[in-house]
Structure 1
Amino acid sequence: MTDWINSVQGTAVGHQVAMGLALMSAFLHAIFGALQKGRHDPWLTRGAIDICYGLIAVPFVVFVVPWPEPHMWLIFAGAFVIHSIYKIVLAMCYSRGAFTVVYPVVRGTGPLFTVIGAFLIFDERFTGVQWIGVLVLLCGIYGLAVYNLRYLTEGRETLKVALALAVLTGLIVATYTTYDAYGIRASSDPFTFLAWFFMFDGLSFMPLIAVARYRRMANPPTLPPLLARGLIGGIIAYFSFGGIILATRLDNVGQAAVLRETSTVFAALIGWVMLKERVGPRRLKLMALIALGAVIVQMGG
C-alpha cells in the first residue's frame, strides 16, 4: 500500500483519491463532532475516544509499521502539542455552545488559513476561480454563524464566548492541518506517521482529564455506553483524521482542506436528526452555499 501511495502522489489518480478521502473525512468528521458534543460531557467523550484509538494504534506500532526515522521524533512532539491545545479549546467550545452553532465557525475558519499556510509552506497556489469558491464557502459558513447568533434562543448567555472559542479552534485546525501535512510528507512511510501519531495523541492527558472529571461528578454516566461511544469515535477517527492527513500527502493541502469543510453540511443534518437541534429553510440555503463553494474550488483547480 505504501508503494502504491508513493507512486500516485502528485498524479491525476492521486488527486482523485485525495478528493475522495477529503469527502469521506468531511462526513465522518461531522459524525465525530456529534459524538463528542452529544449525550455525554464532551470532556468525558473525548477522553474515551482518545484512549480507544490510542490503544488500537499500539499493535500497529509494535508489529506492523516501520520504525520512524530519527528526524520524526521532533515532528511528533510538535503534533502532540498542537493537537493537545486543539482538544482542550474544542472541548471548552462544545461546553458552551450548541453543536450547529459552533461547528460551522470552527470549520469555516480553518480552510482560509490552511490555504494561506499551504501557500507559505508548500508554495501551493489557488486560481482566481478557486478563491471565489473559498469566498462563497466562507459566506455560507459565517452566514450560518451570524444567523445562529441572531435567532438562537437557547444558551445565549455563553454564545459569544462559544463563538470566540470556535474562531480560535478554527485557527488551531488550520495549524494542525498544515503541520500534519508537513509531518506525513516528511515520513518515508505515511502509515508510520499515522500509527505513531494516533498512539501518541490517544495515550496522552485527555483520558486523565476525563477520569478526573468523572470522579468529581455527582451523577456520573454509566461506563459501558460511554466506552462504546469512545470505541465508535476512535474507529471513526482513523478514517476521518487519518483520511484527511493522507489526502494532504497525495495532493494539494489547501484544496483537500476546503473540500473537508463540507462537513458543516453533514453536521447540520446530524444536529437536526440526532441531536434534535432545529434546522430551518434559511440554514438549509446557507448550507447549500457552503456546498457550492466547495464545488467551485474543486472545478476551478
Structure 2
Amino acid sequence: MWMYLGLLAALFLGLHNLCKKHAVQGNEVFPVLLGTVSSGFLFIASFCLLSLYYPEYAIANGYNFQKLPWSTHGFIFIKSAIMTSSWILAYQALKHLPITIVTPIRSAGPFFTFIGAILIYQERPNVLQWIGFFLIIFSVILYSKIGKKEGINFKRNKWIFAIIGATFLGASSGLYDKFLIQNLSLNPQTLQFWFCFYTILILLVILTVTWFPYAEKRRAFTFRWSIIAVGVLLQAADYFYFKALQDSDALIMLLSAIKRSQILIAVVVGGLVFKEQNKRKKLVPLLGIMIGVGLILYS
C-alpha cells in the first residue's frame, strides 16, 4: 500500500513542479515561496479548525491533530530550516534554468537518500536496486550533455550548483522525515501544520531584510494563481508521502525513488507547455530514469 501512496505523491509533485515554474517566471523568489507555503498552511489550517469544532468527526476520518511537547517542536523547526534552504536554492535555479534540466537533476535525490538509508537506517538494497539507482545517476549525466546544447555549462553555471545543493538538502530532509514519522510518531497533518508554520516564520525574517524594505522589488512582484496551486499541491503530495512513511515496512530509499516518477509530467508536459528545447533528446535519459525507478519497484 505504501508504494501506491508514493505514486500518488509523485503525481501531485509533478503537477506542483509545473505550477512552480509558472509562478517564479519573472518573479522575486522569496515572496513567491512565502505565498506558496502560506497557501499550503491555510489549506492545512482549515482541517485543523474543523478538528477543533468537530473532534469526533476528525478522529473518525483520520485527520486529528496531535498536541506536541516543546522538544518535538524543536525537531520540526530543524526540518523547516533544512527545507527552506532547499527551496530557496531550488526556486532560484528554476527561475534561471529550463524545467527539463532542473527536474532531472533533482532526480538524483534518491541517490543521496539511498546512501543515507544504508548508513543511518541500515536498509539493505538488492542487486536490482543497485542497478536502478546507478541507472538514474547515469541518466542525469546524459541530461548534463543535453544541457550544454542549451547554453548551460554544468561546470560554470552557478544555478546548476544551486539545484545540486537543493537536491542534497531535500534528500537529507527525506531521511529526517522517517525519523519524525516513525521515531517521534507524528501523524502527517500535525507535521505539515507546524512545518508550514515555522517555515513561514523563517521566510518572514528573510523577507524583512531582502524584500519588504524595497519598494521597487515589491512593485515588481506579480501575484499568480499558480502560487496558490503550488502550495495546495505540495501539501497533497506531502500528505500521501507521510502516510506512506507511517507504514513500518516502508523503505525510505524506495519511496524517494518512486517519487522521482514525477519527472514524466515535468519533462513531457512541461516541455510542451513551456516550449523548451531538445525535448526528444531528453526522452532518452528520461527513459533511463523511468527504467531505474521500474527496477526499484520490481525489486
TM range (shorter): 0.7 to 0.9
Alpha carbons of structure 1 residues 159 and 246: separation in structure 2 relative to 1, 3 Å: farther
Partners of 2:175 and 2:32 lie apart in 1 by 26
The answer for the alignment partner of 1:200 in structure 2 is 198
Tell me if the contact between 1:66 and 1:192 (Cα under 8 Å) persists in the aligned partners: yes
Alpha carbons of structure 1 residues 142 and 266: separation in structure 2 relative to 1, 3 Å: farther
Q: CA deviation at 1:45?
A: 2.6
Alpha carbons of structure 1 residues 157 and 185: separation in structure 2 relative to 1, 3 Å: closer
Alpha carbons of structure 1 residues 55 and 214: separation in structure 2 relative to 1, 3 Å: farther
Letter in 2 for 1:164: F
The answer for the alignment partner of 2:12 in structure 1 is 28
| C-alpha distance after superposition, 1:239-287 (max 9, x if no partner) | 1223223323321100000111122222112321221213432211211
Partners of 1:27 and 1:156 lie apart in 2 by 30
Tell me if the contact between 2:10 and 2:258 (Cα under 8 Å) persists in the aligned partners: yes
Tell me if the contact between 1:53 and 1:202 (Cα under 8 Å) persists in the aligned partners: no
Partners of 1:46 and 1:76 lie apart in 2 by 19
Task: Note the 1:153-164 alignment, pairs <5 A.
Answer: 153=151, 160-164=157-161
What percentage of aligned pairs have identical amino acids? Answer: 17
Gaps in structure 2 of 5+ consecutive residues? 53-63
SS in 2 for 1:124: coil
Tell me if the contact between 1:82 and 1:172 (Cα under 8 Å) persists in the aligned partners: yes
TM-score, normalised to structure 2, is 0.83
Q: CA deviation at 1:218?
A: 8.1
The answer for the alignment partner of 1:268 in structure 2 is 267
Partners of 1:31 and 1:128 lie apart in 2 by 32
Partners of 1:21 and 1:206 lie apart in 2 by 33
Alpha carbons of structure 1 residues 169 and 131: separation in structure 2 relative to 1, 3 Å: same
The answer for the alignment partner of 1:57 in structure 2 is 44
Deviates more, 1:158-167 or 1:81-90: 158-167
Deviates more, 1:261-270 or 1:240-249: 240-249
Deviates more, 1:124-133 or 1:273-282: 273-282
Q: CA deviation at 1:130?
A: 0.8
Q: CA deviation at 1:176?
A: 0.6
1:169 aligns to 2:166 (yes or no) = yes
Partners of 2:251 and 2:154 lie apart in 1 by 40
Partners of 2:145 and 2:212 lie apart in 1 by 36
The answer for the alignment partner of 1:96 in structure 2 is 96
Partners of 2:216 and 2:15 lie apart in 1 by 28
Q: CA deviation at 1:57?
A: 2.9
Q: CA deviation at 1:213?
A: 8.7
The answer for the alignment partner of 2:59 in structure 1 is none
Gaps in structure 1 of 5+ consecutive residues? 1-16
Partners of 1:59 and 1:126 lie apart in 2 by 40
Partners of 2:5 and 2:144 lie apart in 1 by 27
Partners of 1:51 and 1:214 lie apart in 2 by 21
SS in 2 for 1:261: helix
Alpha carbons of structure 1 residues 120 and 157: separation in structure 2 relative to 1, 3 Å: closer
TM-score, normalised to structure 1, is 0.82
